[in-house]
Amino acid sequence: KADQVGGETKVDRLRNLYQTFHACQACALGTTRNRFVFGEGDPEASLMFIGEGPGRDEDMAGRPFVGAAGQLLNRIIEAMGFRRDQVFIANVVKCRPPQNRKPLPDETSACTPILVKQIEFVNPKIIVALGATPFCFLKGQNVSIMRHRGQFFKWRDYRVMPTFHPAYILRNPVSKRDVWDDMKKVLAELKKS
């Protein structure tokens, strides 16, 4: 079957990955989090969204993007013609940084194996990096989201579109138009493949 990799389905692989890491204590966030937020969505998704890390609502719910930024992300996904459960949504770090500060480098590196495996298992056609944290993570360097949003780049063999984080759009509503321009490029690229 198309969704089988080495005898295991993608669902099996994601489930095993969750089982391996759900009680992770590899960095200090393991001691302050309420819930480990693995990510969710269609293991066969052609589109994957990557955010920064869980906020307060996500830390309580154990699910990504369920707060105000998540509601906006849902609307973006729906405007693109998808249901939320047809895409895959994950974060760079799986545990909430205290006071929603940006994840520290050691926290990001502790979480890297999980995100890399999620990308490999889902194997999306396009990844949308929501904001500077996933953008810099996938670029492997400190780069400006302001300067580079809207321009595809490659992480390994994956096409990645960097755009603004929905929380940024909530603070700067005029940026919504830019994000929609970026998502139209994603849709055009998805149609080609």
Q: Which residue is nearest to ligand URA (CB)?
A: 51
Task: Identify the residue among 51, 97, 103, 124 touching ligand URA (CB under 6 A).
Answer: 51
Q: How far is the CB of 190 from ligand URA (least distance, A)?
A: 22
The C-alpha atoms of residue 84 and residue 77 are separated, in whole angstroms, by 6
Select 121 or 137, whichever has its Cβ closest to ligand URA: 137
Task: Identify the residue among 42, 88, 91, 107 touching ligand URA (CB under 6 A).
Answer: 91
Closest CA to 27 of 111, 100, 99, 116: 111
Q: Interface with ligand URA includes 118 (CB under 6 A)? A: no
Hey, is 175 helix, strand or coil?
helix
Chain centroid to Cα 190, Å, comes to 18
SS (HEC) of 125-159: CEEEEECHHHHHHHHCCCCCHHHHCCCCEEECCEE
* Residues in CB range of 147: below 8 A, 6 or more apart: none
Q: Interface with ligand URA includes 69 (CB under 6 A)? A: yes
Task: Identify the residue among 36, 47, 48, 53 touching ligand URA (CB under 6 A).
Answer: 53
Q: How far is the CB of 47 from ligand URA (least distance, A)?
A: 16
Q: Applying CB under 6 A, which residues contact ligand URA?
A: 51-55, 58, 64-65, 69-70, 91
